[in-house]
Structure 1
Amino acid sequence: MTRSLTPLPTALGTHFSVAAAADRGVKQGRLRAADLETPFYGVRMLARDVADDDEPGPEEIMRRHAHAYAPRMREVDFLSHCTAAAVHGAPLPFVTDPRVHVSTVRPARAPRTRGVIGHSASPTVPVVVVSGLRVSDPAATWATLGESLDVPWLVAVGDYFCRIWREGYGRPNAGRQSLATPSQLADAVNSCRRVGAAKLRKALHFVRCDSWSPRESLTRHLLVTNGLPEPVLNNDFFDENGGHLACLDMAYPKYKVAVEYQGRVHGVQYSRDIERIERLRADGWIIVQVSSELFNEPGVLIRRVHDALCARGWRG
């Protein structure tokens, strides 16, 4: 007969310090139970049972570990680097290192413990609170990512931070303030010596304010760095009668060529996307649809866009 576990006090939440649990009468044996993980010394968090088809992405893993570390944070500590980017909601590539980046304002010593990468930080680094966590602000965070990300992903994260939520046909959250501006990213890069500064400055040249997803950013960077013209991003287009055709991910209006990244969609949204593409084609547009499979064949993708533009008179 399996013995049931004693419920934990709800006030502890999903992550808590051992000391806080002891203050609420939780016994040491309960803290060693299988439903709890030990991400850091002196900290416990509820184990997450994840189905095979519901694996968390790198951002979610980092956010979970960031919140788990919160009970250990001091007033001189803040989250930084990839951990701060994840807390800000930025897209990140697949990573195998789940350790939490913690920066500590000098002259205090950075933490040195299992599961943590400690950094020494200047008192001038701007710090904000997001979801209850002290983190470096978006621009300062982006300027630390030259250590770990390549140029295309630096562009994608920069695009995320600098997105302007413009008014438009059916657009959500119009008027929401962007998290950063390109000039703020540049100021952060130039504020001190940076690891990966050359990559950051190269990426900054490609950061735009109208990209809506990391795949759009990565696709655009691939196209323009391989000799193709820069597309306009997420503009609304209408037919000759004023009817709304679509808001296109990437478009070359002069040539009526569009590049659309197609994620995994099903049901009603899939049907709507088919109808939208058909309306555009009926209006004379050439649509290059980018699937995850095509994205993994960059040479084929570049050639398709090149051929579509040439068919409409572009001479690169």
Structure 2
Amino acid sequence: MKPPRPLPPQLGTVFSITDARALGVGSDRLFRSDLTTPFPGVRAQGQPIPPADATWPGDNEANGTQTRALALAYAVRMRPIEFFSHLTAAELWGAPTPRRPGSPLDVAVFGNDPLPRCRGVRGHRAGPRLTTTTTLNGLRLASPASVWASLGTLPLEDLVVIGDYFCREWRDGFLRPHAGRRPLTTRTKLAAALDAGRRVGAARLRTALGMIREDSWSPRESLCRILLTTAGLPEPMLNLDVDGPLGFLACVDMAYPRYRVAIEYQGQLHGARYAKDIERLEALRAAGWIVIQVSSALLARPAELVDRVRRALLSRGWRP
């Protein structure tokens, strides 16, 4: 079998059948096995590639990468009246979400405009008073505040985690990354979006709003904080810089400085990073801190985690 003919370079890695035919590409070429069909009327050569100057918020985790690739593919056939919404928009903004890989893209229209009807897409109607839109790397999507206020069907923990991410303030501090970067939104804007009209899950959203903080650096930190506070323990300070006799000692994920109790979430660390974390935690202990390390396994045993922190606080004089 002959290798497939090269496609016109101006088509890029993802393109519509209409554009291809306008450039003289025949139907036989459009159905060759080197092309995939992410959506009806769309062809792709491998994964869609973001624009060269694209800068995506967040840490570009697996879910977000897949969602961005699919969104770039769908954008080829997207009508001007459509925009990405709900969990899809949250992931395009880089937020950690519970959306499973392979879930349909969330695409919305305003008012009574015709809903998108396409394999791999879930259509939504949005109210103009409830939703503001913007563009990100050429994709039209709901603003972070509008996205968060549209997710009232999610569990409380997910609403807080996503809200923490959207509202993170990149403060100055020793070795802190991206100091001065603007948050994607604020709690004030989340409150305004929530109050713009009737929302599904409004009571849960309002509870979550009161629990969102600007200094959480990761979903696991957010979940750990939620577990501790809902169990009746005092709220820890987040990502606190701790000084020792010779200056900066460590930045602690969660801390009770009055009782010198620190809580550190440990992901999968390797090599030099692991060695540095050992030295940092040992320096804290040498300075008189109790350090509780939290792994994913411990986070899955919330009663045990809460008990460890409670016993540490009690040993340092905290009283309920």
Q: Distance in 2 between matches of 1:106 and 1:181?
A: 27
Aligned residues: 306
Asked whether the equivalents of residues 58 and 93 of structure 1 are also in contact (C-alpha less than 8 Å), the reply is no
Superimposed CA distance per residue, residues 6-54 of structure 1 (whole angstroms, 9 cap, x where no aligned partner): 3333332332211122223333233323333222211122345xxxxxx
> C-alpha displacement at 1:96, in angstroms?
5.0
Matched to 2:89, the amino acid is: A
Q: Distance in 2 between matches of 1:10 and 1:291?
A: 48
Asked whether the equivalents of residues 107 and 124 of structure 2 are also in contact (C-alpha less than 8 Å), the reply is yes
Say which SS state the counterpart of residue 27 (structure 2) adopts.
Answer: coil
> C-alpha displacement at 1:209, in angstroms?
0.5
Query: For residue 217 of structure 1, what is the aligned residue in structure 2?
Result: 222
Matches for 1:77-88 after TM superposition, within 5 Å? 77-88=82-93
Q: Distance in 1 between matches of 2:10 and 2:73?
A: 15
Q: Distance in 1 between matches of 2:317 and 2:2?
A: 74
2:68 matches 1:69: no
Query: For residue 301 of structure 1, what is the aligned residue in structure 2?
Result: 305
Say which SS state the counterpart of residue 36 (structure 1) adopts.
Answer: coil
Query: For residue 289 of structure 2, what is the aligned residue in structure 1?
Result: 285
Q: Distance in 2 between matches of 1:33 and 1:146?
A: 43
Matched to 1:11, the amino acid is: Q
- Structure 1, unpaired ranges of 5+: 49-55
Asked whether the equivalents of residues 151 and 203 of structure 1 are also in contact (C-alpha less than 8 Å), the reply is yes
> C-alpha displacement at 1:140, in angstroms?
0.2
Matched to 1:236, the amino acid is: D
Superimposed CA distance per residue, residues 194-221 of structure 1 (whole angstroms, 9 cap, x where no aligned partner): 1222221111111001111111111111
> C-alpha displacement at 1:94, in angstroms?
4.8
Say which SS state the counterpart of residue 145 (structure 1) adopts.
Answer: coil
- Once the two structures are overlaid, the 10-residue window that deviates more, 32-41 or 300-309, is 32-41
**2:147 is matched with which residue: 133, 137, 141?**
141
Matched to 1:310, the amino acid is: L
2:125 matches 1:129: no
Q: Distance in 2 between matches of 1:197 and 1:121?
A: 16
Asked whether the equivalents of residues 62 and 98 of structure 1 are also in contact (C-alpha less than 8 Å), the reply is no
TM-score (norm: length of structure 2): 0.90
Identity of aligned residues (%): 51
- Structure 2, unpaired ranges of 5+: 48-60
Matches for 1:102-121 after TM superposition, within 5 Å? 102-121=107-126
Say which SS state the counterpart of residue 146 (structure 1) adopts.
Answer: coil
Matches for 1:257-272 after TM superposition, within 5 Å? 257-272=261-276
> C-alpha displacement at 1:101, in angstroms?
1.0
Q: Distance in 2 between matches of 1:163 and 1:110?
A: 34
Matched to 2:169, the amino acid is: I
> C-alpha displacement at 1:3, in angstroms?
4.4
- RMSD over aligned Cα atoms: 1.7
Say which SS state the counterpart of residue 277 (structure 2) adopts.
Answer: helix
Query: For residue 250 of structure 2, what is the aligned residue in structure 1?
Result: 246
CA distance 1:84–1:94, change in 2 (3 Å): closer
CA distance 1:94–1:281, change in 2 (3 Å): farther
